[in-house]
């Protein structure tokens, strides 16, 4: 008996994974929970374990291939049993062959459309028939971009057929006002009119000029046309020939393949990098972004951290500014909970989240990842420092689990670590707000009428304007600035 093993759902929202490496060969014995493949999902790199004791019967995917969650990608012969043709494990609920014994395509049954859940949802929102969309992703998978392209095209198959039929109908004489510059740019649009001429009049010299220029005299716009007779001048021939050559040169230039002076490098757009791109695309297309920016005096915060750093180091913990910022964010969210929310579009409700889970954006070789520190409101400063450091390191090492990248209710990104003051951070959808921090450094600031060198922190807060108003984010920013300027107030929270 053959046990068909489907790629499991290794995390919420994961629809597919790239098979990076097989860890077993066909015919190899395996034991339950032994890793058989390394798969990169849109969350992380994970080892996929065998669900049974047995022998590898067939590997149904190749390294580098995108495998859909729920599709069979490996089969096992159970211990003590020989696989027979057409056998399947009863647990799969699927037959490997049809009534005639023919092998069925398990990964792509008839009529199935391969599309990510976000693409299906987008298709419903835009009124696009997902079955009519041609996928450009791996294995013909339909992406969000494919759905948007189909929506922008705006033609259903029936509409397209109607357009073709309409194009095949005789075209009447165009109105001069509608033709506009199109007549000048493409003289050949006059061809239908020229073909209806009964006679084209031109001087012998004009006819010789047309032959030299390789121009059909009947296609040259006439100076005057009466009773089916057209009179063409040498100037009209020259203009037509010049326009025709320009059009041919433009077509040749457009058709010429681009040849770079140096060899291009092509990097596969998939895995975590593609997931990041799709998430950013969905966020910007879905949530109308508005960004509020302020400069915060954090001189007292710098002094407080310097005082506490030795205490943290004695306990083996590196104390950064992030735990202070996280605590300040939580305190400000308590006063303005609408920034710790999601929009349930199906139910038509704004959901004010009870949890206080903070996502912290981390730059990795694979792109920006967002580990989640849970229950920030229930943890102390040193515990937050330790957990944040550990999660960030796991993200950089690609050992972080999918569960540790999910469930955030508000996100913080520190682009100031790479320099720069302000930015417009993209919301970590479906959240409704994100805090971006610029470079913390000394800047001239006015204190009691005098200019002083003070430590300051630029902040940029992007919001989903469907849920959060400008007044809400301004008040939240003011409250956050208060806690960052006077960190001792956090002791009262």
Average of pLDDT values for 233-260? 76
Instruction: Give catalytic residues, as residue numbers.
Output: 465
The answer, yes or no, to whether the previous bond of 218 is cis (omega within 30 of 0) is no
Q: Are 418 and 438 in contact (CB under 8 A)?
A: no
Higher confidence at residue 307 or residue 207?
307
**C-alpha separations of 421 from 284, 293, 306, 329, 460 in Å:** 22, 10, 23, 19, 9
Average of pLDDT values for 448-458? 95
pLDDT at 342: 95
Q: Is residue 106 domain-resident?
A: no
Q: Residue 388: which region, alpha, beta or left (left: phi > 0; alpha: psi -120 to 50)?
A: alpha
**Which of 342, 349, 306, 324 shows the shortest CA–CA distance to 412?**
324
pLDDT at 100: 38
| Domain final position from 255, 288, 307 | 255
Q: Are residues 371 and 463 in the same domain?
A: yes
Q: Are residues 484 and 336 in the same domain?
A: yes
Contacts of residue 381, Cβ cutoff 8 Å, sequence gap at least 6? 308, 319, 323, 324, 327
| Domain final position from 204, 220, 255 | 255
Question: What confidence category does residue 168 fall into, taking pLDDT thresholds of 50, 70 and 90?
Answer: very low
Q: Are residues 366 and 401 in the same domain?
A: yes
Percent of the chain residues past pLDDT 70, beyond the cut = 76
Q: Are residues 464 and 321 in the same domain?
A: yes
How do residues 5-30 score in pLDDT, each as one tens digit?
998 876 555 678 888 889 999 999 99
In the three-class reduction of DSSP (H, G, I as helix; E, B as strand; rest coil), residue 282 is classed as helix
Higher confidence at residue 176 or residue 4?
4
Q: Is residue 110 domain-resident?
A: no
Instruction: Say if strands 16-22 and 29-30 run parallel, antiparallel, or are unpaired.
Output: unpaired
pLDDT at 405 over 50: yes
In the three-class reduction of DSSP (H, G, I as helix; E, B as strand; rest coil), residue 361 is classed as coil
pLDDT at 99: 35
Q: Are residues 288 and 357 in the same domain?
A: yes
Both tokens of 124, joined, read 């419903």
Q: Is residue 263 domain-resident?
A: no
Looking at 46-60, 75-89, 403-417, which range is the least confident one?
Answer: 75-89
Q: Are 145 and 122 in contact (CB under 8 A)?
A: no
C-alpha 475/C-alpha 463 separation (Å) is 13
pLDDT at 134: 82
Higher confidence at residue 223 or residue 128?
128
| Domain final position from 255, 284, 313 | 255
Q: Are residues 13 and 159 in the same domain?
A: no
Q: Are residues 287 and 420 in the same domain?
A: yes
pLDDT at 89: 46
How do residues 332-383 score in pLDDT, each as one tens digit?
999 999 999 999 988 999 999 999 999 999 988 878 899 999 999 999 999 9
CATH of the domain at 35: 2.40.50.100
Looking at 99-108, 139-148, 452-461, which range is the least confident one?
Answer: 99-108
How do residues 85-108 score in pLDDT, each as one tens digit?
555 544 443 433 333 333 333 333
Question: What confidence category does residue 225 fall into, taking pLDDT thresholds of 50, 70 and 90?
Answer: low
Average of pLDDT values for 123-127? 76
Higher confidence at residue 463 or residue 44?
463
**Which of 100, 41, 49, 108 shows the shortest CA–CA distance to 74?**
49
Average of pLDDT values for 185-207? 55
Both tokens of 194, joined, read 């020229």
pLDDT at 139: 54
Mean pLDDT over each residue of the chain, to the nearest integer? 79
C-alpha 6/C-alpha 62 separation (Å) is 15
pLDDT at 157: 42
In the three-class reduction of DSSP (H, G, I as helix; E, B as strand; rest coil), residue 416 is classed as helix
Domain count, the chain: 4
pLDDT at 277 over 60: yes
Q: Are 460 and 422 in contact (CB under 8 A)?
A: yes
pLDDT at 216 over 70: yes
Percent of the chain residues past pLDDT 90, beyond the cut = 42
Q: Which residue do the tokens 């009447």 mark?
A: 172
pLDDT at 207 over 70: yes
CATH of the domain at 135: 4.10.320.10
pLDDT at 204 over 90: no
Q: Is residue 97 domain-resident?
A: no
How do residues 482-492 score in pLDDT, each as one tens digit?
999 999 998 87
pLDDT at 256: 61
How do residues 48-72 score in pLDDT, each as one tens digit?
889 899 999 999 998 888 888 889 9
Q: Where are the alpha helices (DSSP H) in 127-226?
A: 144-153, 157-168, 176-179, 181-185, 191-195, 204-213
* Chain centre to alpha carbon of residue 334: 32
Q: Are residues 279 and 368 in the same domain?
A: yes
How do residues 28-48 score in pLDDT, each as one tens digit?
999 988 999 988 876 677 788
Q: Are 297 and 463 in contact (CB under 8 A)?
A: no
The answer to pTM > 0.75 is no
Q: Is residue 293 domain-resident?
A: yes
Domain span including residue 139: 117-168
Question: What confidence category does residue 454 fall into, taking pLDDT thresholds of 50, 70 and 90?
Answer: very high
What's phi and psi for 56, nearest 5 deg? -65, 120
Contacts of residue 298, Cβ cutoff 8 Å, sequence gap at least 6? 440, 455, 456, 457, 484, 485
């Amino acid at each position: 008996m053959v046990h068909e093993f489907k790629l499991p759902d290794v995390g919420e929202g994961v629809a597919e994974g790239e098979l990076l490496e097989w860890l077993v060969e066909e015919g190899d014995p395996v034991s339950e929970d032994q890793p058989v493949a390394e798969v990169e999902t849109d969350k992380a790199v994970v080892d996929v374990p065998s669900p049974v004791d047995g022998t590898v019967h067939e590997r149904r995917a190749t390294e580098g291939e995108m495998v859909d969650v729920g599709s069979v990608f490996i089969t096992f012969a159970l211990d003590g049993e020989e696989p027979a043709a057409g056998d399947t494990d009863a647990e799969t609920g699927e037959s490997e062959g049809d009534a005639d014994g023919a092998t069925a395509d398990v990964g792509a049954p008839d009529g199935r459309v391969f599309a990510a859940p976000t693409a299906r949802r987008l298709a419903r929102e835009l009124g696009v028939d997902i079955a009519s969309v041609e996928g450009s992703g791996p294995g013909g998978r339909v992406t969000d971009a494919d759905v948007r392209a189909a929506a922008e095209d705006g033609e259903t198959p029936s509409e397209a057929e109607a357009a073709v039929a309409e194009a095949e109908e005789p075209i009447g004489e165009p109105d001069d006002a509608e033709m506009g510059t199109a007549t000048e740019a493409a003289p050949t649009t006059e061809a239908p009119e020229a073909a209806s001429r009964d006679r084209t009049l031109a001087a012998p010299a004009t006819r010789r000029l047309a032959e030299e220029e390789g121009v059909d005299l009947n296609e040259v716009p006439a100076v005057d046309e009466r009773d089916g007779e057209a009179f063409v001048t040498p100037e009209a021939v020259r203009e037509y020939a010049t326009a025709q050559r320009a059009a041919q040169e433009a077509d040749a230039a457009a058709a010429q393949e681009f040849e770079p002076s140096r060899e291009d490098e092509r990097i596969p757009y998939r895995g975590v990098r593609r997931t990041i791109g799709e998430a950013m695309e969905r966020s910007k297309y879905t949530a109308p972004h508005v960004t509020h920016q302020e400069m915060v005096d954090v001189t007292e915060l710098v002094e407080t951290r310097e005082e506490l750093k030795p205490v943290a180091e004695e306990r083996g913990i590196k104390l950064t500014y992030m735990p202070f910022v996280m605590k300040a964010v939580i305190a400000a969210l308590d006063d303005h909970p609408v920034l710790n929310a999601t929009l349930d579009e199906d139910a038509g409700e704004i959901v004010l989240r009870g949890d206080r889970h903070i996502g912290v954006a981390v730059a990795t070789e694979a792109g920006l990842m967002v580990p989640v520190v849970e229950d920030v409101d229930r943890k102390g400063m040193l515990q937050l420092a330790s957990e944040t450091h550990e999660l960030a390191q796991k993200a950089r090492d690609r050992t972080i689990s999918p569960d540790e990248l999910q469930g955030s209710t508000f996100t913080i990104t520190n682009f100031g670590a790479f320099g720069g003051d302000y930015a417009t951070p993209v919301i970590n959808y479906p959240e409704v707000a994100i805090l971006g921090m610029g470079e913390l450094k000394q800047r001239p600031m006015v204190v009691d009428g005098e200019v002083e060198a003070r430590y300051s922190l630029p902040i940029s807060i992007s919001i989903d304007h469907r849920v959060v108003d400008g007044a809400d984010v301004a008040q939240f920013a003011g409250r956050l600035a208060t806690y960052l300027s006077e960190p001792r107030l956090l002791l009262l929270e």
